[in-house]
Amino acid sequence: MAAPSQLPFRPLEYWKPPKAVLHIRARSTNLPQRSPSVYSFDSEKGKESFDSVERKHTTYSSATEIMKNQFVEGTGEFERQDGVGRKWYDVKGWGKKVWIGVAAAVVILIIVIVVPVVVTNKKNKYPDYSRLSYSVSETYSGENFFDNFDYFTGYDPSSGFVHYVDSVAAAQYNLTYASTSSAVLRVDTSVNSSSVPNASTGRFSVRITSKKQYGTNNLFIFDVKHTPTGCATWPALWLSDPSNWPTNGEIDIMEAVNVVSDTQNQMTLHTTKGCSMDVKRKDTGTDLQSSCLNSTNGNAGCGVDAGTSTFGNTFNNNGGGVMAMELRTAGIRMWQFARASIPSDISAGSPDPSTWPEATADFPNTNCDIDTHFRNQSIIANIDLCGSWAGDETIYAQSCPGTCSDYVANNNTAFANAYWEFGSFVVYSANGTVS
């Protein structure tokens, strides 16, 4: 049967196959490579054939078996089927869709293998805390201790049941005073709910903020002789830029709530977005939340529990201790040394953190730009009452009676031990890296 006239290609007698096809045709049919032939087509089978003039032998074209044309019934056309009969692993027979699928699979495989490796490597990175040479920048001590601070008198940002007083009222109620050996900051114990003035809307307390502000590459040594204790209390020793909080960050060095006897000191960072601690760290404390973003986890920040008896009666009865905080580009590290374990270089006035034991809390810069997140830091000390943490009903009820505000208003004598006593604050500035 003659091939349909609408075929989209020329008949085989006008097609000159490549040498490889000629070779196969000659070998499989025993025909001369250029033997004349008459073209014919079987529409039922969709096969091409030819009659050999020399051999009078009819066979299917080997070229057709190699590049088979599938006749589509009802269309009179052929659908080209490249690679028919090839093994799946013979790439010469792969079509465009197969190659796209293979490429997609390779990309996915690379992602599956490479991404976890990159993430793991980043988490295992650790900054270079090379030794820095420090010299004294400021010393806060003696009878003039409080002259270096401003007294905060505004509304308590932590919603405490407290009235922060100025320096005049603090002197009047004996809430701040200093000697050659220590400085005391305390909660009022004189007024109650029926006195004049009274504590029906909050008790008098103090919050001080250093006039000097600090950036990175500074070392802070805090000599703490006594920490505040008692129900409803929320004392803190910290650094921040109150006018630009939390944009410029917050560093909590000592903080606890409702300390009846003993508790763990909590060291914490509070920041805006882009600072987390789900990375390699070297500290002896118990790491808590990994995100430092202040608006998450109930404004908890990323904290570290310092360990047993690091705040409260046992700490106080042992003479307190020294808190050290290194603020540098590589990260923020904090140490808590008991009075009997203070490094000799601190006592000698030449502190060298590179020789100290592992930090109590370590906040490396691996996933947190310290220079960006912590700027213009002032030293702050205060004793809040109730508020969003100490006054939380669930937290307060764990160790204290009644409601927090009632307790504060009606129990003036209960705050006799609610005071900070500091020996001194010394700030050292880095002169450079020591090799």
Q: Which are the catalytic amino acids?
A: 250, 255
- Gap between the Cα atoms of 255 and 168, Å rounded: 27
Please state, as a whole number, how many other Cβ atoms lie within 10 Å of the Cβ of residue 401. 11
Alpha helices in 270-425 (DSSP H): 313-317, 344-347, 370-373, 387-390, 393-396, 404-410
Among the listed residues 415, 355, 406, the one whose alpha carbon sits nearest the alpha carbon of residue 384: 415
Strand (E) or helix (H) holding 323: strand 321-328
Peptide bond into 246 cis (omega under 30): yes
Radius of gyration of the chain (CA): 41
Q: Does residue 323 contact residue 335 with C-beta atoms inside 8 Å?
A: yes
Query: What number of CA atoms fall less than 13 Å from residue 407's CA on the CB side?
Result: 20
- Residue whose tokens read 């049941």: 161
Rounded to the nearest 5 degrees, what angle is found at the Cα of 363, between the Cα atoms of 360 and 368?
Answer: 175
> Which distant-in-sequence residues (6+ apart) come within 8 Å of 73 by Cβ?
none
β-bridge pairing 162-164 and 203-205: parallel
